Each structure stands twice: as C-alpha cells, then as structure tokens.
Structure 1
C-alpha cells in the first residue's frame, strides 16, 4: 500500500479543529487510492511549523481555528509552495472571508453544511485544475466579479500598467474562470494539458499572482477579461 502511494499519489494536509469533521476528512482521503493523507492538525501554529519543511500537493483547511485563522495558513502555503492547491472547508459563507481566501490563494471553497460532500472527488478535481465550490459560494464570487469589474477597472490600473494577455491566454483564463479544469480547457481549445499549464504559468507571471482565483480577480480588476465570453484565437 505504501509503495503504491509513493508512486504519484496526491499528498494532502488537513487542518481542522473539530475532531469529528477532521476524522471524516481524513477517512475520505485515506479511502481514495489516488490520495495520501500526509498529516492533520487542529490549529494554526503546528500547521505553519510543518509547512516550513514539507510541501503538500493539496491543503484542506478550516477558517475558524483555536489560535487564529486558516487564512494565515493559506498565505504561508501559497508563499512557500505556489504549486500547492488549496481548498477551504468551513461553515463560513461570509463574503469577506470567501474573497480573502481566494485572494490569499485558495482555489476551492466548500461549506460544511452543503450536504454530503465527496471530499476525495473534490480534491482530485482541484488537483486536475478545477475549482470546487458550493453553489452559493460560486454564485457569490461570480456576482462579486461582475458587479465589481466596472468601478475597479476605472480605479486601480496605473498609467504604467501595460500588462496584457495574448488571445490564447485570455481564452484559457476565461474558461478557468467558468470552472473548467485544465483537461477540459485543453480539449475545448485542441491543445495539450501541458500547453495549458505553460500558458497558466505565463499568466501568473504577467499578473504577479500565485493561484487561479487570484489570476481571475486580477485580470478582471485590470479589465482584461469578460466573464462568460470565452475568446477564440
């Protein structure tokens, strides 16, 4: 079992203070052969210490922890390991928390009370380039992006900001913003997944961001995208 896990299994770190929920998350991860539970913590401090020496493929974290906020862990993980995928599993649907998590680097946001969750599937979707979100959270994020685009575009860009995306980069980011995985984007645009990943890396560099969520928000902030209207080459 361990030998099989070591050959390409997705390593997952869990941070959750509620013992029952933590056990549920851990069991879900351990039940999937494609996943490997690296470790689990119930607070911020030990999680931050662990991240100083170890990189997870995926971080699952709650927000309300005994000694701080899960956003601290998201920031630390994104800064040290920008390739780690991050999903929040929490009770909070507060808009400020949702947006703060996405801006910090989270690509998924699932509510604990959203019914039975297939955590293993959500983690695999996240790792494949998806953005698992509870429906209420997805609607909130989309509404925020749409409502905020016009005033933000008029307020934030500076005279020296000449960043632009190629048509292909804009098309890929539009599709990512709509929830498509890297594999789905590759199929729609008739390119390889590796090509999509290369474009995403270039987009991150141009926008100075470290996650899909940040890239979408930053591109909209600069008026570079039109949500829901994928561009073609």
Structure 2
C-alpha cells in the first residue's frame, strides 16, 4: 500500500464528471489496484476513487519543467483508467508532503464478536440457561431443508428446536417454522416446540413467533461467556 500526502487537484471523467480543486489530501494506492482520495474529514468515505480493475500511469516533471507550464506547476500526474468502463481519474500533484509504502500482506478478515456461530456454540455449552434440567441433543441438527441450530430436550424430555440469530427478524421466524414442520413429522421427536433466540428481536418477529406458538428468548452474549456479573447489576 502506498500512502501519499500531497497538495493536489483531482478530475474524474466518464459516467460522471467531478472536480476537486487544489488542496492537501491523502492519496491511497492499494495492492489490488484501487486508488482512493481522502480529506481530513468525512469519516471513512473517500472524496473520489477508482475501483479495480484499473491501470495507473504516472508522469513526473522537474521543477523547471513545471515552472514553464502555463497550465500550472504540477510535478507529478496520475492517470488512472478503468479497464472496463473507460472512466478516468486524473490526479495532479503540486507538492508532495509525505510518500511511504508498506507491504501489508494477506489480511485475515474481520472477525466479529457475537456472530451467530459464536452464539450457537455458547448456548449449546450453556443450554441450562434456558431452564433447569435441559440437555443438548445436537448442534446443527439436520433436516431436509438444512440444519436447525440446536436440538435440545427440556426438563420433561420434550424436544425443542432452537434457531439462533444475531438480530431476530421475521425471516428467522419463518425459517424456524419450516424446520418445525419437518421435525414434527418424525415420530421419535414429535411433538417439537420452537424457540427463536437472538441478541435483539424485532417486535414484528415477536408477534409472528407468538402466533406460530414459538417462544422468544433474548440472549446476553457477555453472560453466556461468563464475563457479565448479573448479580451486581442495578438493572
């Protein structure tokens, strides 16, 4: 990755036309070929950019050559041409304040805490949080249309299918309804009731679940991990 802080102007031509007048900006050239222009505000969003696949060509000039140019004293010009659309990003650098390059290597990707897979594992390991005497039958219990997240048995030995979402919405209730329909065809399991579990459940999903005879449970991720002292809470 190349990071350049420079006084520059920027012109974009193609499906649209845009111009950024001369000002200090951060220019980023990534290993995938993309080029991004940032200001010191605007959060994460660049002022302008070119996504790959694209080709970057640079033209440099000496100070003497730049001084003789009636169009302006730019010392370096970047022409970024998109290989498919033909759009062009032109950056004219008038003064380079910083220019560094870094080899970042392959990024392992964002690992989100509290995603559905983590919640499934934690709830399976702490199935008793749903009630005393509960036991785990299996995670990812297979059906003809895919696996339900958890199959458990309550204190009375009745089968319970549990579908887990990070955010509980109507689609998740519909998904669990289909699982329950298939599971209740198995005489070794039936009757099977359902639990829709999530860190947050939308009101519409609660209403639909109640209409389908499905219980809703809000999961506390920190409590499942054992790092939330529930007893010390004021609320």
TM-score where L is the length of structure 2? 0.30
Query: Which of 1 and 2 has greater Rg?
Result: 2
Say which structure, 1 or 2, has more relative contact order (CA 8 Å, 6+ apart). 1
Which structure shows the bigger proportion of residues in helix conformation? Answer: 1
